[in-house]
Structure 1
Amino acid sequence: MTRGHRESHKIKSIGWLRAAVLGANDGIISTASLIIGVASAHASHGNLLLTGVAGLIAGAMSMATGEYVSVSSQADTERAALAEEKAELENDGPHEHRELAAIYERRGLERGLADEVAHALMAHDALGAHARDELGITEITTAKPLQAALSSASSFAVGASLPLVVTTISPDRWTVPAIAGTSLLFLATLGGLAARAGGAPLMPGMLRVMFWSALSMGVASGIGNLLGAT
C-alpha cells in the first residue's frame, strides 16, 4: 500500500513572506540610513537614539497604514469582481458555462472534456470555479488587510530595532561604521532567509539588498556630512 503523497509548495507563504521581508528590510535600511545621516552631521549620541526611536515608531505606523490601505483596496476590488460574477451566474448560467469551458479549451483540453469539466466544477461550486479560473482569485492570493498591516508593522519594528541596539552599544567614533557593517550583515542574512523560504537562489537576493542598502546609507552619510559642514 502506497502512502499518500503530500506536497508543500513555497508559494503558499508568499503573501505573508512578502509583507514581512519588506517590513524588516525597510526597518533596517531606513533606520540605519537615518541614524548614519544624523551621525554624519555630528549629532550627539542621545540625539541619535532619539532619532532612531522616532524613525522606528513613525516607520512602523506608516508601513501598517500603507499596507492596510493598499490591501484593503485589493480586497474591495476582489469583492466587487465576485459580486459581479455571482450576478452573471444567476442571470446567464449557460453563457458562464461556455465561458469556463472555453478557458479549459485554451489550456489544452478537448472541447468535449472541457465542457464536462466545466459542468462538474460549476455543479460543485460555480462561483469558486469562476473566481479561480476566470478571475484568478484563490485562497492563496486573497487579500487580508489586517494580517498584512500587522505583519508589516511588526517586522519593520524588529528590523529597525537592530540598528538601534548597535547605536546604543557602540562608541561614538565607531557608530557609523558599526551601523553600516552590521546592517549590511543583517540585510544579507534576511535576504538569504527570504530567498531560501521562497525556494529562490540565495546569492542574487543577498547581493541585491546589500547593494541598494549600501547606496542608501552612503547617500544619507553624504547629505549628513554636507549639512553638518554648513
Structure 2
Amino acid sequence: MTCVITEAVPSVDEARPRSSSISGKLNWLRAGVLGANDGIVSISGLLVGVAAVNPENTGAIAIAGIAGIVSASLSMAVGEYVSVSTQRDSEEQLIRLQRRAIEADPAGQERRLARMWTSKGLSPKVAAQVARELTEKDAVGAHLTAEHNIDPEDLTSPWAAAFSSLIAFICGALLPLLTMLLFPPSLRIVATFVSVLVALALTGYVSAWLGDSPRGRAVLRLLTGGSAAMALTFLVGHIFGVNA
C-alpha cells in the first residue's frame, strides 16, 4: 500500500488574518480605558488642587468639578473622533487604491497576493491556490487583510470611539467629584486619594484582563501616574493657596 502525503490547504476563512476583529476590540478598549483613566486622574487632580486651597469651599469644588468634566469630556470625545476619522480616511483610501489596482490588472494582483502568502510560509503551490480562492470570494478584502490587516467591512468607527471615550471619561470623573462632595471637609482630600487609587487599580486590572496582558504592570502604571498627578496638583494648590 502506498501512503500519499499531501500538503494541507488552508480554507478561505483560515487563510484570512483575524486581526481586524482584534483591532476593533482593542480600539474600543483603548478609548474606554483612556477615557476612564483621564477622567479619574484629571478631575481628581483638579479637585485636589482646589481643595488644597480651602477644603471647606464646597461651592468652588463643585463648580470646578462640573466645569472640568463638561469641558474635558467633550474635548476628549472630539479628539477621539478626529483621530479615528483620520485613521478611517486612510483605510478608505487604501480600499479605493486596491480596488483600482485589481480592476486594472486582476491577474497581476492575484499573483501578488500569492507572493504575500508565500512570504508568510506557504509553498508556492498552496499560496497560489489560497490566493485564487480568496480572490474569487473577495479580491479587495483578501489584499487588504493580507497586506494591511484591514477588513473593508469592519472599519474603525470614529463615532463609537468618541462615544466610548465620552461615557468612560464621565464615569471616571464622577468618582472624585462625588467623593469630594460627600465626605466632610477634613476628610475630602484623603478620601479622594484613596478612592482614586482604588479606582485606578481596578481600571488597570480590568483593562489588562480584557486585553490579556500582565495585570500587575498595568495596575502599577496607573497607580504611579495617578499618585504623581494628585500629589503635584495638591502641592500647586497648597503653595498658591498659602501665598494668595
Q: Give the TM-score of the pair, scaled to structure 2.
A: 0.87
Displacement of 1:29 in angstroms is: 0.4
Q: Find out whether 1:188 has 2:229 as its counterpart.
A: no
Quote the Cα distance in structure 1 between the aligned partners of 2:213 and 2:126.
36
Larger radius of gyration, structure 1 or 2?
2
Q: Aligned-residue CA RMSD in angstroms?
A: 1.7
Quote the Cα distance in structure 2 between the aligned partners of 1:71 and 1:116.
36
Q: For the Cα contact (< 8 Å) 1:131–1:138, is it kept in 2?
A: yes
Q: For the Cα contact (< 8 Å) 2:117–2:127, is it kept in 1?
A: yes
Displacement of 1:113 in angstroms is: 1.2
Q: State the match for 1:24 in structure 2.
A: 36
Q: State the match for 1:117 in structure 2.
A: 130
Q: State the match for 1:13 in structure 2.
A: 25
Displacement of 1:140 in angstroms is: 9.4
What amino acid does structure 2 have at the position aligned with 1:127?
A: V
1:48-71 Cα offsets, whole Å, 9 max, x none, are 111011111111101110000110
Quote the Cα distance in structure 1 between the aligned partners of 2:153 and 2:175.
31
- CA separation of 1:14/1:168 partners in 2, compared to 1, >3 Å: closer, same or farther? same
Q: For the Cα contact (< 8 Å) 2:53–2:240, is it kept in 1?
A: yes
What amino acid does structure 2 have at the position aligned with 1:133?
A: A
- CA separation of 1:16/1:139 partners in 2, compared to 1, >3 Å: closer, same or farther? farther
Displacement of 1:13 in angstroms is: 2.6
Name the count of aligned residue pairs: 222
The gaps in structure 2 that reach 5 residues or longer are 1-18
Runs of 4+ in 1 over 4 A off after TM superposition: none
Q: State the match for 2:219 in structure 1.
A: 206
Residue among 33, 53, 56 paired with 1:41:
53
Q: State the match for 2:15 in structure 1.
A: none
Q: For the Cα contact (< 8 Å) 1:32–1:217, is it kept in 2?
A: yes
Quote the Cα distance in structure 1 between the aligned partners of 2:28 and 2:152.
13
What amino acid does structure 2 have at the position aligned with 1:26?
A: D
Quote the Cα distance in structure 1 between the aligned partners of 2:87 and 2:79.
12
Q: Percent identity?
A: 35
Q: For the Cα contact (< 8 Å) 1:15–1:141, is it kept in 2?
A: no
Q: Find out whether 1:218 has 2:231 as its counterpart.
A: yes
Residue among 91, 101, 104 paired with 2:117:
104
Q: Give the TM-score of the pair, scaled to structure 1.
A: 0.92
The gaps in structure 1 that reach 5 residues or longer are 1-8
Q: State the match for 2:242 in structure 1.
A: 229
